[in-house]
Amino acid sequence: MEKIPVMDQGPTPTCYAHSASQLIDAFRFSHGDRNYSHLTSPLVTAVYYATARKNKSYNTGFTDVAIAEILRRGSCSEQAIETQFHVEEFRNFFEDIFPKFESRSLLRHSEECYSAQPRVLDSSVELIGFLDKDRRLAYLERVFKEICKNRSLQIPKSNGIPIEVAVVEGKAPNWRTIFKKTFARELKDNRSQPLEISYCSDVLYNPMISIATQTTTFEESKCKAYHSSVVVGRRKTLAGKCQLLVRNSYGKGCTGYAWECEQGQIWVDQDALIENIKSIRYIK
């Protein structure tokens, strides 16, 4: 994971795409891929995810399904997207581009934003059609297909076996034990693959929060914000507690977290975190 920077999704609800991209890149780099400058674009992943499912929004999704989309279409370079759109950070993309959709002023900015791909759309009339709110994702998908055509990588199979994503749900009667065993098994050494967690991120700011009940259900109303993050490490404290290193997608800042934080990565007590996890996903 040291070759993958901490990401910042900004105000976009695309945590699932950020987790999927990181899991894919971690798999690539741990299986011999040395093309460290090629990082999978969460933006492309989110748009492809939405259009493949005919969703009208890129908001929210499932990491395992997003990974399947990357495997199907390939990993498109984040650097290629940033260069093409003259955007230095993912978090700025929707903030900068979508208001132009809303105001229907994109034509004024088309030379600046899309100058290298002038033939993606056949005419200004077609562009105006894609400015409609319900078609903006279709427009971005079409642009991305053109940009990514020669800037995508196909993810190799693992020892000739297609990649599979394991999904561990908090439903079995002994789900807490299953979660603990999953973390212990999958994070046993430095060569381990990261895991994605779908959880109540309130626990990052309030150690006492717990949405779990004594059974296999979760009290949804207790949580202000459900989120997806990647767990990249495991350790024992001097007091003997097991902690998990949660890599968040809110940048490298540490302001507001209730736990020890290093460059946007937070050490959280495993027991506290598990009380707020609904599911775990990881590449086998």
Least confident span in 19-23, 28-32, 107-111: 107-111
Least confident span in 41-45, 152-156, 188-192, 216-220: 216-220
Distance CA 235, CA 267 (A): 9
The bridge status of strand 165-169 relative to strand 195-200 is unpaired
Where are the domains positioned within the chain? 15-153, 166-283
Global pTM reads 0.85
Q: What value does the mean pLDDT take over residues 92-103?
A: 52
pLDDT given at position 23: 97
Q: Are 257 and 148 in contact (CB under 8 A)?
A: no
3-class DSSP assignment, residue 225: coil
Q: Which two tokens stand for residue 54?
A: 């005919």
Any idea which architecture 166-283 has in CATH? Alpha-Beta Complex (3.90)
pLDDT given at position 46: 93
Which 8-state DSSP code applies to residue 93? H
Q: Are 170 and 278 in contact (CB under 8 A)?
A: yes
pLDDT over threshold 80, residue 13: yes
pLDDT over threshold 90, residue 282: yes
Which 8-state DSSP code applies to residue 161? B
